[in-house]
A = this chain, B = another copy of it.
Amino acid sequence: MNEFDFIRQLRELTHSRRRSSRIIKGIGDDATLIREHVDRDLVVTTDLLVEGTDFHREVTPAHLLGHKALAVSLSDIAAMGARPRWSMVSLGLPKETWTTGFKESFFEGYFPLADSYGVELVGGDISESKEIIIDSIIIGEVSSGSAILRSTAQDGDQIYVTGKLGGAAAGLKLIEMGARLNQEAGGSRPEAGTEPLAGATGLHYDEETNEAETINRLLRRQLQTQPRVGWGIVMGEEQLATSMIDISDGLSSDLQHLCEESHVGATISAEFIPMDEDVRTICGRRALDPLSLALHGGEDFELLFTVRSENVPRLPKRVDGIQISRIGEIKAEAGLWLHENDRIWQLRPQGFTHFATQS
């Protein structure tokens, strides 16, 4: 049993005891949807980030961790088509981090991102722990009935993603090889002299080209997540998407989550998947497969959504400078299919799963 199976079990337990008609969507979507009053629904999400599992202290500067903890929850709110309003943070900190400025730096990264979307920190909790632990909670709002669920995609809908894919996963690979973000103002080259993580083979980059800058951009894709808050709000307001999810586990996994919840299937085309240009650049010399990173690599935090064909002309070309790409179509029959050149492959989700090796 992995965590998805367990969450399914819990969900059935909660369904069997459901009493309130005000829960529009409980367990099983990017966030919980609660009918608050006649013209407004609440959207609530919580994301637990644990050191060693979800991030590594030695490669993630504290202020970027503050940024990321909020960003992943903003992405969940965006995936519901909602507007983020209020946030809370529960922090578990090892004693030795209490006096090192970690928590101050954490909030130096947290507040600017919160401010940029008008999100107010309104509560939280603190305890002592062995590793750094962050539980990030956001409450958002959406006009009644305007939230966009995972479970409402329909046969024939066109499948879209925002932005470019594979960058965050490539950044993680580079970190595993020893690359470290250069954070200096205007710094665009990775920091020199850092050690690869245990088991990594070491990172060498071509001094002759701009590869160092490329690497630093990919490190930022992993460490400085940009949630698609603007796209989320627009999709909620304009009611153009039939379903939506954010790509946190990986395109293949999250498309499967959406299709399972909607009881449909999908075909997507490799040539339409918007690959991060930097990923292509960096992969060639390192025997990495850009398509594999774009399909299965997690943490891009782009939005994946479906649109009825007749609504496609009404889609905005870009929001906050971010474009979208059509990658495929929803099919009535279950199953995910990938068109690549003249072949069709069955697409098997290979995104991130905690406890995946447990039976």
Please report A residues at the B interface, Cβ cutoff 8 Å: 1, 3, 6-7, 10, 13-14, 17-20, 23, 26-27, 31-32, 34, 36-37, 40, 42, 44-50, 52-54, 85-86, 88, 90-93, 95, 98-99, 103, 107, 111, 115, 118, 120-131, 133, 135, 137, 139, 354-355, 358-359
Contacts and interface: CB of A to CB of B under 8 A. Distances in A.
A123 B53 CA distance: 21
B126 A19 contact: no
A126 B121 CA distance: 23
A358 B98 CA distance: 8
Given A34-B122, A50-B133, A44 B139 contact: yes
Given A13-B107, A354-B127, A23 B122 contact: yes
A359 B98 CA distance: 10
A122 B355 contact: no
A117 B97 CA distance: 39
Contact of A54 (B31, B37, B86, B127): B127
A105 to B, nearest CB: 13
Contact of A6 (B1, B46, B126): B126
16 contacts: A1-B98, A14-B120, A27-B122, A27-B123, A31-B123, A32-B123, A34-B86, A36-B40, A36-B42, A44-B123, A46-B90, A46-B124, A48-B135, A52-B130, A53-B127, A92-B133
A355 B98 contact: yes
A49 B120 contact: no
B36 A91 contact: no
A143 to B, nearest CB: 13
Contacts of A120: 14, 17-20, 23, 26
